[in-house]
Chain A
Amino acid sequence: MSEVKYSKEHEWIKLDGDVATIGITKHASEMLGDIVFAELPEKGSSVEKDGTAGVVESTKAASDVYTPVSGEVVDTNQAIVDDPSKINQDPENSAWFFKLKIKDVSEIESLMNKEDYDKFAKENA
């Protein structure tokens, strides 16, 4: 399993073989506040790098969730749809959003590592 990478849109991505697990970062979940709604892409659908692939809503506002890489959605996490507060509780682990069979591994290489992302998140807080 490779290291976790991060996008400027505050998603994390973890690659296992050719399947990537994607979710939103702890920083993003804290910025959003209490998450009360989550919408995920449909299983079997294709998503394009930097395109929208879901929605999260707090009591205050709705925000798009983007996919940092292209691919086919092979699994989605129904548990966060049923109980969106899980996203605030464990955003970078059990509250993952969707899994993609990725098209192009090189898309991951352009993403940030943890250190760079933490710096980026701090600057953009």
Chain B
Amino acid sequence: MLGYIVRRLALMLITLFGISVIIFVLLRIVPGNIVDILFDAAGFVDPSDKANLERELGLDQSIVVQYLHWIGGLLHGDLGYSYVSEKPALDEILPRIPITARLAGLALMFSAAIGIPLGVLSALKQGSRLDYILRAVSLSGLSLPSFWLGLLILMASVSMFGTMPIYTPNPQSFGQAVAIYCVPAMAVGFRSAALVMRITRSSMLEVLRQDYIRTARAKGASETTVNFRHALKNGMLPIITVLGIEAAFLVGGLIVTETVFNIPGIARFLVEAIRWRDYPIVQNLVMFCALIVVLANFTVDMLYAVFDPRIRYND
């Protein structure tokens, strides 16, 4: 097991290195850089001013030198400076991580808390009216774009309560503090919950047909024990896989929700940084997201062994 973990960690490092090269090269292949954008607003570029700024930002150096400079800094905890704000990239990125983490965590909790029980219920009541209703709800959850759902929520909120739960750094009350995270989390979590529900339902249906479930029933186990201890536990692997993928997606993929609810998280910040070609911010944020994705995958792999004791990672 230890050997497996070490191999996985090594693989993670290689993956992260690969990603760092890809993002670095891709960013520089895309036409236009921060200097072009800064001067674009002014409508013209004085070539000497442009050259000075490129020199100041280190953009006149070769791509290899720029890469080594970035990676060298990264290894020492120096993420460089944002080209736009001229502040340390770390200071720009760090305050945004807890905001997105809270939102993503709540969305994930919402999707698990709603998706798993309803999926189980749908499987247990297969073919019933309730099953059809739940399947219709899950289908709508997958079909509704989250920006549309977010806007609907905001409009309904303004129309019904005369206020709306958009982000504020200093909430006036506990209720507002809860609302500014929970409402967007529900908006984005609705789609994830629908996905989890469908996966849970199909996984449960498959497990419920297994011989050991019949054996458990024959041995006189209660329905609750059969459904949750035997069936759900064994049907958890695909659910964990989906939750892992969703967790990774939610870290960097909340751009629409963050935009609609005006949440200053990392996804919106990343898109803005790409628009400005703010390389230090983009590179470091992408690396952060990549790190979360590989860690989520690693965690999922470890959880497989917890939920299915038959799975053992040999050294």
Binding partners A and B: no
**Which A residues fall within an 8 A CB radius of B?**
none
**Which B residues fall within an 8 A CB radius of A?**
none
